[in-house]
């Protein structure tokens, strides 16, 4: 090629503009990546994020020099396209991660439930305006019933009288016996009614529904703190993760990053404790704290163990365990052989491989276990730990988009992305050598204790053994203090 021809290629104004434009895009994407990995502690293990940031700056500088020296070359265009594709894919991955954290944190700020006015299925009343009296537990859920009254007046211009029942279960019973025209059912308490009257909603016709969104009061902490406690709440219900529900899993995860210790403390769902907030500090089953919101469960456990709970993670097992199929199943060590009621699966002693349905059966079972609810809590801990290990493995990358969507649908947390990344980095730096210990509160079962949420019902509860509680509190403090 002649010198004049080479000069024309080199000075092609269109190609120069294209190359500078491509470099600008690579620069912007690289700047976003550098900001994100440093801002959110992504790959901060052994300062990898700083080294990658420095490498990106060096590469940008080299590309800038190349553009000054060979502004209109085709091979420069190809190099820039490769750089653009690489930074673009990395940016999409980081954005998905940041977006997931944002959505999880956004959901952590509120909880949702519904109040519905029902009449019997064979009732002649077809509109709320035809109802003169409504039965509702005014004493135990006055704030919500009052909101419903105000909503009916404002939106429907109706003001029916509200009579008082002792509970939502009692209201449904009176409606079935013909002693009431209509009742209110708070969706929070729907499963408490269902525990005594299965499929009760099949016998009802809804006339009016009011949706309620309640702001949660949750705490925050320095993401670089060395010791803190996370409340892991597990629900097993259908619907969005923000729906209020009883908490079947109640685990306190006490973490000390300096001593590399994690203590998992399980409080059985039937533990008979004073319920905070909506429970008015009246004794009841711990699982009933969840019907007043996750913050009520947090405050109840804070009072019980006399420690602050810094973060919470709320899992919907029904959707969370579906992630197991996306990572090829999980393996757990089973301590005792049993046959599950859900699915009638046989679980022998030793290592068992679980898909999503078997995992759900594994965490639900308690009647076939020697220790009942205590042993179920231990099995739940095993499955949660196994899923988290798989989600942090390279196997999870194959279904990254689906896993991101699944996490969004099944987890609610107030833990920031910085904190999650700091924990993951600590795990990587330790080489997976965190010392994990588990404990469970023990007690004695009884059927003769009153329930604030379900007055008049005979429920199984567990009276906590004071020595067991004192021992658990002592171990938690030891981890927090770095002993």
Over the stretch 144-165, which tens digit does the pLDDT of each residue have?
Answer: 899 999 999 999 999 999 999 9
Through-space distance between the first and last CA atoms of the chain, rounded to whole angstroms = 76
Over the stretch 172-204, which tens digit does the pLDDT of each residue have?
Answer: 999 999 999 999 999 878 877 887 888 898 999
Handedness of CA 353, 358, 363, 367 (dihedral sign): negative
Q: Assess whether pLDDT exceeds 70 at residue 222.
A: no
Q: Which residues contact 389 (CB under 8 A, 6 or more apart)?
A: 330
If DSSP codes are grouped into helix, strand and coil, which group holds residue 331?
strand
Assigned CATH for 110-215: 3.40.190.10
Instruction: Out of 48-62, 226-240, 244-258, 367-381, pick the least confident.
Output: 226-240
CB 244 within 8 Å of CB 291: yes
Domain residue limits, the chain: 3-107, 110-215, 227-480
Beta-strand pair 133-136/161-164: parallel
Kindly indicate the confidence band of residue 259, based on its pLDDT and cuts at 50, 70 and 90: confident
Of 365, 387, 389, residue with least CA distance to 376: 365
Which residue has 């009246």 as its token pair? 282
CB 451 within 8 Å of CB 457: yes
Over the stretch 74-131, which tens digit does the pLDDT of each residue have?
Answer: 898 999 999 999 999 888 888 888 887 777 776 666 777 889 999 999 999 999 999 9
Domains 110-215 and 227-480 share a fold: no
Over the stretch 445-455, which tens digit does the pLDDT of each residue have?
Answer: 899 899 888 88
- The fraction of the chain above a pLDDT of 70, given in percent, is 88
CB 320 within 8 Å of CB 410: yes
What is the mean pLDDT of the segment spanning 377-384? 82
Instruction: Out of 102-106, 168-172, 435-439, pick the least confident.
Output: 102-106
Q: What is the pLDDT of residue 189?
A: 82
Kindly indicate the confidence band of residue 360, based on its pLDDT and cuts at 50, 70 and 90: confident
**Alpha-carbon dihedral 52, 54, 59, 61, rounded to 10 degrees:** 160
- The fraction of the chain above a pLDDT of 90, given in percent, is 37
Burial 162-182 (b: 16+ CB within 10 A, else e): bbebbbbbbbbbbbeeeebbb
Q: Assess whether pLDDT exceeds 90 at residue 373.
A: no
Q: What is the pLDDT of residue 381?
A: 78
Kindly indicate the confidence band of residue 45, based on its pLDDT and cuts at 50, 70 and 90: confident
Q: Assess whether pLDDT exceeds 70 at residue 1.
A: no
Q: Assess whether pLDDT exceeds 60 at residue 4.
A: no
Kindly indicate the confidence band of residue 279, based on its pLDDT and cuts at 50, 70 and 90: confident
Q: Assess whether pLDDT exceeds 80 at residue 362.
A: yes
- Count other Cβ atoms within 10 Å, centred on residue 410: 20
CA 396 to chain centre: 19
pTM for this one? Answer: 0.74
| Residue 452: both structure tokens together | 């604030």
What is the mean pLDDT of the segment spanning 459-469? 93
Question: What is the C-alpha separation between 171 and 182, in angstroms, rounded?
Answer: 9
CATH top-level class for 227-480? alpha beta
């Amino acid at each position: 090629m002649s010198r004049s021809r080479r000069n024309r290629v080199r000075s092609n104004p269109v190609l120069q503009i294209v190359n500078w434009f491509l470099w600008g895009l690579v620069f912007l994407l690289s700047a976003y990546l550098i900001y994100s990995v440093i801002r959110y502690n992504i790959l901060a293990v052994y300062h990898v994020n700083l080294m990658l940031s420095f490498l990106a700056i060096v590469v940008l500088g080299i590309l800038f020099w190349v553009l000054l020296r060979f502004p209109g070359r085709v091979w420069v265009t190809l190099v820039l396209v490769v750089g653009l594709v690489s930074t673009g894919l990395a940016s999409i991955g980081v954005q998905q991660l940041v977006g997931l954290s944002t959505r999880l944190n956004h959901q952590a700020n509120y909880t949702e439930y519904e109040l519905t006015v029902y009449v019997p299925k064979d009732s002649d009343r077809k509109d709320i305006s035809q109802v003169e009296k409504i039965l509702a537990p005014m004493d135990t859920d006055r704030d919500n019933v009052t909101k419903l009254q105000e909503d009916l007046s404002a939106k429907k211009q109706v003001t029916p009288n509200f009579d008082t029942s002792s509970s939502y279960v009692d209201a449904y019973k009176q409606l079935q016996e013909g002693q009431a025209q209509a009742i209110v059912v708070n969706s929070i308490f729907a499963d408490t009614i269902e525990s005594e009257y299965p499929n009760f909603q099949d016998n009802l016709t809804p006339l009016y529904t009011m949706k309620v969104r309640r702001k949660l009061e949750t705490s925050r902490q320095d993401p670089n703190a060395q010791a803190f406690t996370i409340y892991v709440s597990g629900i097993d219900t259908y619907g969005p993760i923000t729906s209020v529900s009883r908490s079947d899993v109640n685990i306190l995860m006490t973490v000390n990053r300096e001593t590399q210790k994690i203590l998992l403390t399980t409080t059985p769902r039937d533990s008979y404790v004073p319920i905070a907030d909506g429970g008015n500090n009246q004794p009841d089953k711990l699982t009933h704290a969840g019907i007043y919101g996750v913050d009520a469960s947090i405050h109840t456990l804070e009072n019980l163990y006399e420690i602050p709970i810094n973060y919470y993670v709320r899992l919907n097992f029904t959707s969370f365990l579906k992630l197991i199929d996306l990572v090829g199943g999980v393996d757990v060590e089973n301590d005792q052989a049993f046959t599950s009621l859900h699915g009638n699966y046989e679980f022998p002693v030793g290592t068992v491989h679980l898909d999503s349905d078997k995992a759900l059966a594994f965490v639900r079972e308690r009647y076939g276990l020697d220790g009942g609810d205590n042993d179920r809590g231990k099995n739940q801990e095993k499955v949660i730990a196994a899923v988290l290990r798989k989600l942090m493995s390279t196997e999870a990358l194959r279904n990254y988009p689906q896993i991101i969507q699944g996490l969004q649908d099944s987890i609610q947390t107030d833990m920031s992305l910085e904190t999650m990344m700091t924990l993951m980095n600590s795990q990587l730096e330790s080489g997976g050598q965190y010392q994990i210990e588990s404990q469970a509160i023990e007690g004695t079962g009884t059927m003769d204790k009153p329930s604030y949420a379900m007055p008049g019902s005979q429920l199984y509860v567990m009276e906590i053994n004071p020595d067991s509680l004192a021992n658990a509190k002592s171990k938690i403090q030891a981890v927090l203090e770095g002993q």
